[in-house]
């Protein structure tokens, strides 16, 4: 295995949530899993070596995040987005993106506060807001022939109704948009006008197709950065979700302090994940080439699905994607009840996909296919979905 090769990992024997959990639950020998947001590629060699190095040193106690950690984050953001942060003053670690999000919700909002999200979006957004006693305001995205856009007048209406916070997903899971500078600028202007805080989940920021660009909303200006906390992790882009490690960037010292106090409440104020630190350093310093190979493969997989569906599943629209590793497909022409679609695909074709109905307004009747897998799996999956389409059209 060369340093930057893309290596497929087996579908059995690794106790993965994406595969083994579903195989056990369904008992299907020929099951194909395109659900859980993990890749079927081994994590990059520099990350694996860095983790082995930690083990080799024999110390698994509380780590000290070294200058190398902060420098890696600073240099990576500057190199890839031109955002020049003082990492020592505005970066803080946590135990995964959603723990970061929880601390932000806990400290910057109160029960009953309204939080606006663009839907459809990853199901945890709505669920976490609801389970923590805050109120979800859904602002549905608009789509024209599979190209998704923000409806800025309805976003403004959401803010007029008194939103405390806007929870952005950039790039956006599941529809695969990497929001443009112009779109982010418009969001920023509305948030300033209505005094709305921004929590930006940028976990997919490295997975942007060639010709497109990731822009952190906080990098637009200091003024915007002062109302923003940005969430990062190596988890999605380098396939390290099992490490449960993340970090935030908050340039506003007040927000940074309040966030830190919230960490203290749950004992997360010190000594976070020794493996996560090592993985972050290796990812940002040594894995640019690996990531570009992954992106190339995902783009190839995406174009295969788009072409295959256009030819064989006429009427199923695959959204225009420019980021993430998902194909977002409009299956509404089948007229299957939206609560049934993933169940029927599982029962009849032995395929696991995510049902769009759980992703908020605008998701019913859609499915999300995880493309970070082998070309062979995708070819077989596409063939079975064609069969499903044929059985249910008419
Ligand atoms: C947009 C988004 N944010 C965060 C997560 C979870 O990230 P982590 O497991 O690294 O906390 C997911 C998982 O699918 C996601 O889609």
DSSP per residue over 126-141, as a string? HHHHHHTT-EEEEEE-
What's the 78 CA to ligand 1 centre distance in angstroms? 23
Query: Do 191 and 101 share a domain, yes or no?
Result: yes
84 inside domain: yes
Helix (H) or strand (E) holding 73: helix 67-81
Nearest-atom number in ligand 1 for the CA of 97 is: 11
Domain encompassing residue 325: 17-43+289-392
107 inside domain: yes
What's the 58 CA to ligand 1 centre distance in angstroms? 30
Q: List b or e across 18-39, with b for residues whose CB sees 16 or more CB atoms inside 10 angstroms.
A: bbeebbeeeeeeebbbbbebbb
Query: Do 154 and 261 share a domain, yes or no?
Result: yes
Nearest-atom number in ligand 1 for the CA of 204 is: 1
* Nearest alpha-carbon partner for 372 in 230, 97, 173: 173
Query: Do 122 and 250 share a domain, yes or no?
Result: yes
Give the model's pLDDT for residue 78. Answer: 98
For 121, what's the count of Cα atoms within 13 Å in the CB-facing half-sphere? 28
Query: Do 278 and 347 share a domain, yes or no?
Result: no
Query: Do 156 and 239 share a domain, yes or no?
Result: yes
What's the 282 CA to ligand 1 centre distance in angstroms? 20
d(CA 255, CA 100): 13
CB 288 within 8 A of CB 294: no
Query: Do 318 and 341 share a domain, yes or no?
Result: yes
CB 178 within 8 A of CB 213: yes
Classify burial at 331, counting beta carbons within 10 Å of its beta carbon; exposed 0-12, middle 13-18, buried 19 or more. buried
Query: Do 242 and 147 share a domain, yes or no?
Result: yes
176 inside domain: yes
Boundary of a domain, candidates 286, 301, 329: 286
d(CA 32, CA 298): 17
Query: Do 279 and 174 share a domain, yes or no?
Result: yes
Protein residue with least CA distance to atom 4, ligand 1: 97
Domain count, the chain: 2
CB 178 within 8 A of CB 210: no
Tell me if residue 46 falls in helix, strand or coil. helix
**CATH number of the domain to which 242 belongs:** 3.40.640.10
Protein residue with least CA distance to atom 14, ligand 1: 37
What's the 387 CA to ligand 1 centre distance in angstroms? 32
Nearest-atom number in ligand 1 for the CA of 246 is: 10
**CATH number of the domain to which 30 belongs:** 3.90.1150.10
What's the 233 CA to ligand 1 centre distance in angstroms? 9
What's the 97 CA to ligand 1 centre distance in angstroms? 6
Query: Do 103 and 130 share a domain, yes or no?
Result: yes
Query: Do 256 and 219 share a domain, yes or no?
Result: yes
What's the 7 CA to ligand 1 centre distance in angstroms? 22
Specify the residue for token string 């805080």.
Answer: 197
Pocket residues: Cβ below 6 A from ligand 1: 37, 96-98, 122, 169, 173, 201, 203, 233, 235, 241, 246
39 inside domain: yes
5 inside domain: no
Give the model's pLDDT for residue 2. Answer: 58
208 inside domain: yes
Boundary of a domain, candidates 222, 255, 286: 286
Mutate to test the pocket of ligand 1, among 97, 268, 372 (most ligand atoms within 8 A of CB): 97
Give the model's pLDDT for residue 5. Answer: 78
Boundary of a domain, candidates 286, 311, 333: 286
Protein residue with least CA distance to atom 6, ligand 1: 97
Per the rule left: phi > 0, alpha: psi between -120 and 50, beta: everything else, 375 is alpha
Q: Does a cis peptide bond (omega within 30 degrees of 0) precede residue 21?
A: no
Strands in 30-120 per DSSP E:
32-33, 91-94, 114-119
321 inside domain: yes
Mutate to test the pocket of ligand 1, among 103, 128, 236 (most ligand atoms within 8 A of CB): 236
9 inside domain: no
**pTM for this prediction:** 0.97
Nearest-atom number in ligand 1 for the CA of 203 is: 3
* Nearest alpha-carbon partner for 77 in 199, 184, 214, 204: 214
pLDDT tens track, the chain, 394 positions:
455 779 999 988 899 999 999 999 999 999 999 999 999 999 999 999 999 999 999 999 999 999 999 999 999 999 999 999 999 999 999 999 999 999 999 999 999 999 999 999 999 999 999 999 999 999 999 999 899 999 999 999 999 999 999 999 999 999 999 999 999 999 999 999 999 999 999 999 999 999 999 999 999 999 999 999 999 999 999 999 999 999 999 999 999 999 999 999 999 999 999 999 999 999 999 999 999 999 999 999 999 999 999 999 999 999 999 999 999 999 999 989 999 999 999 999 999 999 999 999 999 999 999 999 999 999 999 999 999 999 999 7
CA distances from 311 to 124, 305, 308, 314, 365 (A): 34, 10, 5, 6, 20
Sheet holding 163-169, edge to edge: 91-94, 246-249, 228-232, 197-201, 163-169, 114-119, 135-140
Query: Do 146 and 217 share a domain, yes or no?
Result: yes
Helix (H) or strand (E) holding 171: none
d(CA 228, CA 364): 31
Query: Do 368 and 382 share a domain, yes or no?
Result: yes
Length of the chain: 394
């Amino acid at each position: 295995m060369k340093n930057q090769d893309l290596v497929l990992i087996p579908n059995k024997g690794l106790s993965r949530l994406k595969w083994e959990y579903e195989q056990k639950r369904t008992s299907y020998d020929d099951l194909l899993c395109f659900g859980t947001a993990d890749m079927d590629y081994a994590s990059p060699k520099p990350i694996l070596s860095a983790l082995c190095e930690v083990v080799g040193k024999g110390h698994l106690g509380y780590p000290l995040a070294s200058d190398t950690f902060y420098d890696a984050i600073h240099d990576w953001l500057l190199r890839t987005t031109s955002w020049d942060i003082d990492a020592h003053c505005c970066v803080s670690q946590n135990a995964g993106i959603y723990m970061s999000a929880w601390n932000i919700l806990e400290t910057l909002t109160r029960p009953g506060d309204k939080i606006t999200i663009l839907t459809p979006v990853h199901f945890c957004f709505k669920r976490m807001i609801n389970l923590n006693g805050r109120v979800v305001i859904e602002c549905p995205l608009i789509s024209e022939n599979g190209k998704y856009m923000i409806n800025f007048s309805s976003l403004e209406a959401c803010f007029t109704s008194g939103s405390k916070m806007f929870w952005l997903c950039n790039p956006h899971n599941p529809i695969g948009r990497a929001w443009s500078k112009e779109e982010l600028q418009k969001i920023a202007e509305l948030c300033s006008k209505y005094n709305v805080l921004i929590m930006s989940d940028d976990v997919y920021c490295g997975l942007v197709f060639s010709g497109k660009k990731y822009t952190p909303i906080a990098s637009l200006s200091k003024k915007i950065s002062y109302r923003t906390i940005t969430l990062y992790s190596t988890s999605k882009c380098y396939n390290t979700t099992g490490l449960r490690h993340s970090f935030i960037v908050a340039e506003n010292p007040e927000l940074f302090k309040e966030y830190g106090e919230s960490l203290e409440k749950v004992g997360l104020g010190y000594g976070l994940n020794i493996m996560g630190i090592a993985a972050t350093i290796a990812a940002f310093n040594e894995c640019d080439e690996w990531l570009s190979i992954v992106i190339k493969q995902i783009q190839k997989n995406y174009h295969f699905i788009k072409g295959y569906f256009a030819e064989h599943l006429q009427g199923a629209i695959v959204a225009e994607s420019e980021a993430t590793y998902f194909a977002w497909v409009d299956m509404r022409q089948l007229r299957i009840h939206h609560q049934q679609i993933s169940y029927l695909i599982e029962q009849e074709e032995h395929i696991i996909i995510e049902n769009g109905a759980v992703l908020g307004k605008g998701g019913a009747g859609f499915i999300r296919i995880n493309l970070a897998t082998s070309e062979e799996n995708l070819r077989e999956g596409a063939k079975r979905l064609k069969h499903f389409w044929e059985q249910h059209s008419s």
